[in-house]
Structures are given as structure tokens and as C-alpha cells.
Amino acid sequence: MKKGYRKFAAIFGLALMVALAGCSSYLENLAKTGDSLAIAGDLFVTTGNLYDGLYREGKIGEDEYAPWREFAEMFKKAYPAAVEAWKTAKNHPDVDSGDVNQILDLITDLSTRLFEFYNKAFVKTTGGA
């Protein structure tokens, strides 16, 4: 039960960081974006393991697994690009802050969708607990 709570707290923290980022300075946004990227990467691995296990155990069918597979393929392409863009912005703080905001928008969208998948898998594995 504690394990699920910690993951939920991490996800809630991610959502909070993303929401607060709109009220912050450029350097604060840059730091929060890096944190959000790290959390999103970890959550992606956790969610993938949940979906793979549920599918392998026959607890979900192709109809529930296929949307995850499609999202995972898109995430695997978008996430490294977002990380590289973030590294570039971090190494060149004189870059227009719109670049960081664009990365943050991408991570917000990916994280929102990722959280939806995680939530569905978490409910399946815990029975809603």
C-alpha cells in the first residue's frame, strides 16, 4: 500500500510542478522542467511494467493494451527530443524562454496522458485501492 501511495504522491508532485511552472521565472521553469522530465521518465517505465504485466497475465486484452502501445511508441520518440531540447536550454540560458515553455507544454501533455494510463493500470492491479 505504501508503494502505491508513494507513486501517487510522485505523480501529484509532477502535476503540481507543472501547474506552478506558469507562475515562475525562466530559471525556475528550467529546473522544474528538468524535474518533470525525470519524473515522467520514471513514471513511463513504471506504467509500462504495469501494462506489460497485466497483458502477459491476461488481466487486460489487446483492446486495452493497444492504446498503451501506441502511446508508448509516441512517448519513446517525443521524450528524448524533449530531454535534448531541455539540455540545450539549460546549457544556453540566454535562449528565448519560449523554448523552455514549449518543452514544458510538451511534458505537460505527455505527463497528463501518461498519468491517465498509469491510473488505469494502477486500478487494475489494486482493484481500485
C-alpha cell at 99: 523554448
C-alpha 91/C-alpha 40 separation (Å) is: 21
Residue 47: the pLDDT is 95
Radius of gyration of the CA atoms of the chain, in A: 16
Residue 75: the pLDDT is 92
Q: Which residue has the cell 494510463?
A: 117
In tens digits, the chain (129 residues) has pLDDT values of: 455 545 555 555 555 455 544 445 655 666 677 788 888 899 999 999 999 999 999 999 999 999 999 999 999 988 888 888 778 777 877 666 566 677 777 778 888 899 999 999 988 888 765
C-alpha 56/C-alpha 77 separation (Å) is: 24
C-alpha cell at 127: 482493484
What confidence tens digit (pLDDT) does each residue in 1-26 have? 455 545 555 555 555 455 544 445 65
**Distant-in-sequence, close-in-space partners of 85: CB < 8 Å, separation ≥ 6:** 99, 102, 103
Q: What is the pTM of this model?
A: 0.71
Residue 97: the pLDDT is 57
Question: How many domains would you assign to the chain?
Answer: 1
- The parent domain of residue 83 ranges over 2-126
